[in-house]
C-alpha cells in the first residue's frame, strides 16, 4: 500500500464535494466500505460506534463534523454550532485529540467572527483539512525519529492499531514501523490481536500486509511467552492521552505489555503527536478512561460467546506509568526520562 513516493495509500478519512467519507473500520478486513456524512450528529455517532477510531483520526473526523454542520447553515444569517460542538465532544472521552481539534475549530471561528457565513464555512473546511494534513506530516516526522532508535534485525511488537487507519495517514506506531522497515531494520512485526475490537488482527495486520511488511498476529496471552523467548526488541504503541509527567493512556492491554517489557528488558516506545499531550493534567490517573458496553466482550460480531447475562468489564483504555516507558516520540523530538522535565522543556509554554 506504499506508493512510489513511500507514502501509504490508506485513506480512511477524505473530504470531497462537501462530504466526509469514512472507511468503515468495523467491517475491515472483510469489506472496504465507505460511508458518507453530512452533519455533526452522524459524525459523532460514527466516532462512538467505531466507524472511525484511533485518537488522531477521531480528532480529524470531529473537526470535519463541525465544518459539515456549518455548511448545513450556509444560508443562515449567523452560524450556531454550539450543539454540534457539544455532541462531538461527548462522542468518546479518552482521546484528547478530539477536544484539541474541536478547540482549534472554535478558535478559528472566533478569530474570524467578522466574516460572512459562506466565508466562515470555507474557513472551517480549510481548518479541518489543515488538521488532517498536519497530522500526516507529523506522522512522517515521527516515523523518521522513531526509526532512528531501532536497531537492524529487530522484531517489533505492536498493540491495537496506531496506523494510517487511526490517523490522517501513515500512522504513529505504524509510521515508525513503516520508516524502520524502509530502512531494512525490521524482520518481523507481531500484532497483538487486541480484544474486544480486534484492532490488531483486523486492522494492523491488514495495513502491514498491504505494505508487504512481515506481520504475525499474536493473541494477547502469547505476548509473555514471545518476550521470554527474547524474540522482541521493541514494543511500539500509540497513545490516546499523555499527561504532563509522561503517563500514557492507550488501548487496554498496553499496561500489561509495559510490565512484561520491564521484566524482560524489552524497550517500550510510545509514538504520539503533540495533539495527544494534555499538559493540563499532571498525572495519568486524572485521565478519564472510557468504559464501553459489556456486550462488546460477551459477544463477537453479534454472536453470544459468554453465558447470557454474564457481567463483563470493558475498559477501553489503561494507564501506563511513565517509569515503564523508554521513549516517547512526538513530531518535535524524542523524549526520554526524566519525562516531566523534558516534556515541559519541549512542549510547555
On the 0-12 / 13-18 / 19+ scale of CB atoms within 10 A, 144 is middle
Q: Could you tell me the three cell numbers for 165? A: 487507519
Nearest distance, CB of residue 165 and ligand MRU, angstroms: 9
Binding residues (CB under 6 A) for ligand MRU: these are: 53-56, 95, 160, 162, 166-167, 172, 199, 237-240, 250-251, 316
Smaller CB separation from ligand MRU, 154 or 200: 200
Distance from C-alpha of 7 to C-alpha of 24, rounded to nearest angstrom: 21
Q: Which is nearer to ligand MRU, 94 or 154 (CB)?
A: 94
The one catalytic residue among 211, 240, 278, 318: 240
* Distance set, CA 140 to CA 27, 134, 185 (Å): 27, 10, 17
Separation of alpha carbons 294 and 158, rounded Å: 25
- Helices 55-72 and 96-111: crossing angle in degrees, nearest 10, is 40
What is the Cα–Cα distance from 286 to 191, expressed in whole angstroms?
Answer: 29
Q: Choose between 108 and 287: whose C-beta lies nearer to ligand MRU.
A: 287
Answer yes or no: 240 catalytic.
yes
121/335 with CB nearer ligand MRU: 335
- Helix axis angle for 82-89 and 96-111, nearest 10°, is 170
Q: How far apart (Å, rounded) are the C-alpha atoms in residues 6 and 217?
A: 24
CB of 54 to ligand MRU, least distance (A): 4
Q: Residue 309 burial by CB count (10 A; 0-12/13-18/19+): exposed, middle or buried? A: exposed
Residue 281 Cβ, how far from ligand MRU at the closest point, in Å? 17
Strand partners, 189: 156, 215
Q: Which is nearer to ligand MRU, 124 or 132 (CB)?
A: 132
For residues 184 and 153, give the distance between their C-alpha atoms in angstroms, rounded to a whole number.
Answer: 8
Nearer to ligand MRU, 26 or 264 (CB): 26
Residues belonging to the chain = 349
SS3 of residue 44 by DSSP = helix
Question: Which residue is nearest to ligand MRU, using beta carbons?
Answer: 238
The whole-angstrom separation of Cα 181 and Cα 146 is 12
Residues with active-site annotation: 240
Amino acid at each position: 500500500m506504499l506508493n512510489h513516493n513511500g507514502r501509504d495509500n490508506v485513506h480512511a478519512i477524505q473530504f470531497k464535494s462537501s462530504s466526509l467519507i469514512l472507511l468503515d473500520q468495523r467491517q475491515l478486513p472483510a469489506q472496504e466500505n465507505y460511508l458518507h456524512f453530512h452533519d455533526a450528529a452522524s459524525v459523532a455517532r460514527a466516532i462512538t460506534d467505531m466507524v472511525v477510531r484511533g485518537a488522531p483520526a477521531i480528532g480529524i473526523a470531529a473537526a470535519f463534523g463541525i465544518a459539515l454542520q456549518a455548511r448545513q447553515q450556509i444560508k443562515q444569517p449567523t452560524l450556531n454550532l454550539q450543539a454540534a460542538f457539544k455532541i462531538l465532544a461527548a462522542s468518546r472521552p479518552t482521546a484528547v485529540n478530539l477536544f484539541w481539534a474541536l478547540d482549534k475549530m472554535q478558535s478559528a471561528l472566533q478569530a474570524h467572527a467578522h466574516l460572512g457565513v459562506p466565508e466562515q464555512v470555507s474557513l472551517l473546511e480549510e481548518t479541518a483539512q489543515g488538521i488532517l494534513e498536519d497530522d500526516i506530516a507529523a506522522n512522517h516526522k515521527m516515523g523518521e525519529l522513531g526509526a532512528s532508535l531501532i536497531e537492524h534485525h529487530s522484531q517489533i511488537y505492536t498493540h491495537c492499531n496506531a496506523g494510517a487507519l487511526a490517523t490522517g495517514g501513515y500512522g504513529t506506531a505504524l509510521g515508525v514501523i513503516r520508516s524502520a522497515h524502509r530502512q531494512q531494520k525490521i524482520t518481523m512485526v507481531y500484532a497483538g490481536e487486541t480484544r474486544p475490537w480486534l484492532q490488531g488482527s483486523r486492522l494492523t495486520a491488514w495495513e502491514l500486509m498491504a505494505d508487504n511488511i512481515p506481520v504475525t498476529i499474536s493473541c494477547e496471552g502469547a505476548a509473555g511467552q514471545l518476550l521470554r523467548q527474547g524474540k522482541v526488541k521493541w514494543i511500539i504503541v500509540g497513545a490516546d492521552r499523555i499527561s504532563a509527567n509522561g503517563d500514557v493512556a492507550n488501548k487496554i492491554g498496553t499496561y500489561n505489555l509495559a510490565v512484561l517489557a520491564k521484566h524482560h528488558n524489552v524497550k517500550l516506545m510510545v509514538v504520539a503527536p503533540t495533539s495527544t499531550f494534555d499538559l493540563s493534567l499532571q498525572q495519568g490517573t486524572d485521565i478519564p478512561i472510557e468504559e464501553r458496553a459489556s456486550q462488546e466482550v460477551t459477544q463477537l460480531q453479534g454472536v453470544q460467546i459468554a453465558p447470557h447475562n454474564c457481567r463483563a468489564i470493558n475498559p477501553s483504555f489503561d494507564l501506563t506509568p511513565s517509569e515503564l516507558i523508554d521513549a516517547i516520540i512526538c513530531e518535535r523530538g524524542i523524549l526520554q526520562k526524566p519525562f516531566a522535565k523534558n516534556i515541559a522543556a519541549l512542549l510547555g509554554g
